[in-house]
Structure 1
Amino acid sequence: MARTQTNGSAAQTSAELEEQIATLRSDVAAIAGTLSDYGKAQKTQLADAAAETLNGAKAFGDEKAQQAKQQARDAYAEASKAVRANPAASIGIAAGIGFAVGLLTARR
């Protein structure tokens, strides 16, 4: 902190102190404004990054859901082909599974 020589009266020294305090207040207000602006910029940047991550996750989820749907369709088509190729075996397997389920549920 700079020191000033006090050749004048106490009133002059008091006036100088008041001037320095006013300067300090304006400097502190400027710093507070700068920090506020910086905080707002950081908030905006974080919000943009979060939105981008969310959009990426949505796109990834949609893609995986479409893949799962396609796999389910393919499995259904394969099962349908197997049943049409071997109807007797399919009926036998279905009857065996039904019999096993019936035994398990009847043993209470």
Structure 2
Amino acid sequence: MATASSGNPESKVTELKTEASLKDISQQLEALKADLSNLAGAMGDYGKGKAKQARSTAEGYAHTARNTAEGQYDYLTTEAERYGREAQRMVREQPAAALGVAAGIGFLVGLFASRR
């Protein structure tokens, strides 16, 4: 950035200092750009790593929840079958009591349904 200067030595010194300052600023800006680019890349890599970790954790929780739900389903199915067999056995052994219970339940259902 040379400019026409008069023969004044002080103006030449000022001009050289200005050129040196501008060159330093330009170099610092380039270094800052490179640092920001590196930082952006590092942040991107960090974010990808955290996303992968979160996905892995969520998949683990989903797997655990599924296994628990399947276990509960199996347990409840077994219990429902057991209660069904027990009810059939009681109806065969005590048909009059079963008929009385069924009539009572029917009466209560009818009573509640008529109040609507």
Aligned residues: 102
Cα distance in 1 for residues equivalent to 2:31 and 2:14? 22
Q: From the superposition, tell whether residues 12 and 92 of structure 1 become closer, same or farther in structure 2 (CA, over 3 Å).
A: closer
Q: Which has the higher contact order (CA 8 A, sep 6+)?
A: 2
- 1:74 pairs with 2:86: no
Cα distance in 2 for residues equivalent to 1:35 and 1:97? 67
Supply the AA of the counterpart residue of 1:77. Answer: R
Deviation by residue 1:40-66 (Cα, 9 ceiling, x = unmatched): 110111011111111111111111111
* Runs of 5+ unmatched residues, structure 1: 1-5
Cα distance in 2 for residues equivalent to 1:102 and 1:38? 62
* Runs of 5+ unmatched residues, structure 2: 1-12
TM-score by length of 1: 0.78
Cα distance in 2 for residues equivalent to 1:28 and 1:86? 85
Larger Rg: 2
Question: Of 46, 49, 55, which aligns to 2:63?
Answer: 55
- 1:46 pairs with 2:54: yes
